Amino acid sequence: MPDLRERWRTGRLEANAYDWAVEHEHVAGVLGRLIWGTDTSAFYRDIARLSALPPGTSVLDIPCGGGVAFRGLRPNQELHYIAADLSPLMLRRARAEAARRGISWIEFAEADVEALPFKDSGFDLCITYTGLHCFPDPQTAIREMARMLKPGGELRGTSVIKRAGIRQDAFVRLMQIGGVFGPGLTLRELESSLADAGLLGTRTERDGGLAYFSAHKPPGD
Ligand SMILES: C[S@@+](CC[C@H](N)C(=O)[O-])C[C@H]1O[C@@H](n2cnc3c(N)ncnc32)[C@H](O)[C@@H]1O
């Protein structure tokens, strides 16, 4: 799906609109409830868990978008944190967000999640918030993110999923026709994709059309 990739790489409207909404929790709350039937406060709570990571933890945040996950970070936390995205516009927004929050230790990288340019097994944690449904090939993306993990490392994130309900499926279809969503995954497909990528201990939770998931790379890998 080259058009989808290009759309996210160069699109301004979808990038600005999405990021504006997600940065305003009350707007995201209303849209999340109306469109996806989900309570987005759980999304922000999940992000808030990042504040508990000990200094020195290596984190890959992809797609970082405009830096929504930075709200979970503390300026004095000193993580090895790479925020990556395909879109230069999103990366500009993310840089500005990090500066606004006084966080100086984030590195930024333009990268395609389906062909990650970082070395294997370099990260303790890979976070991927609301990205999988936007990618041309979510299974390849999951395999790539799994490749980035150190033994015992964790992949965690959220994704819009298919077959969550008639209304949600209609919106997924609309977004696919509009060229901003890819093929996406059902909850089952998400679970099997995590297993196929060699990850263990998968936990998934569905809230309306949004799934929360986490899985680990085996310790000895
Ligand atoms: C719905 S936004 C989510 C961004 C952020 N994680 C958030 O929750 O606000 C989807 C993001 O995926 C990025 N993206 C789309 N395709 C990508 C790809 N193949 N590789 C990396 N990033 C991609 C877009 O540029 C956009 O920032």
- In the chain, the domains with their CATH numbers are 2-216 (3.40.50.150)
Contact 124, 55 (CB under 8 A): no
Ligand 1 centre distance from Cα of residue 61 (Å): 10
pLDDT per residue, tens digit, the chain (221 aa), is 559 999 999 998 888 888 899 999 999 999 999 999 999 999 999 999 999 999 999 999 999 999 999 999 999 999 999 999 999 999 999 999 999 999 999 999 999 999 999 999 999 999 999 999 999 999 999 999 999 999 999 999 999 999 999 999 999 999 999 999 999 999 999 999 999 999 999 999 999 999 999 999 999 87
Tell me which residue has its CA closest to atom 24 in ligand 1.
8
CA-based end-to-end distance of the chain:
32
The gap from C-alpha 47 to its chain's centroid, in whole angstroms, comes to 11
| Inter-helix orientation angle 13-23/2-10, to 10° | 70
With 0.95 as the threshold, say if the pTM is over it: yes
135: which residues sit within 8 A by CB, 6+ positions away? 4, 113, 114, 141, 182
Cis peptide upstream of residue 75 (ω within 30 degrees of 0): no
Regarding the beta carbon of 180 and ligand 1, being less than 6 Å apart is answered: no
Tell me which residue has its CA closest to atom 13 in ligand 1.
63
Secondary structure percentages of the chain, helix, strand, coil, to 5: 45, 25, 35
207: which residues sit within 8 A by CB, 6+ positions away? 38, 39, 42
The two structure tokens encoding residue 102: 């006084």
Burial of 104 (0-12, 13-18, 19+ CB in 10 A): exposed
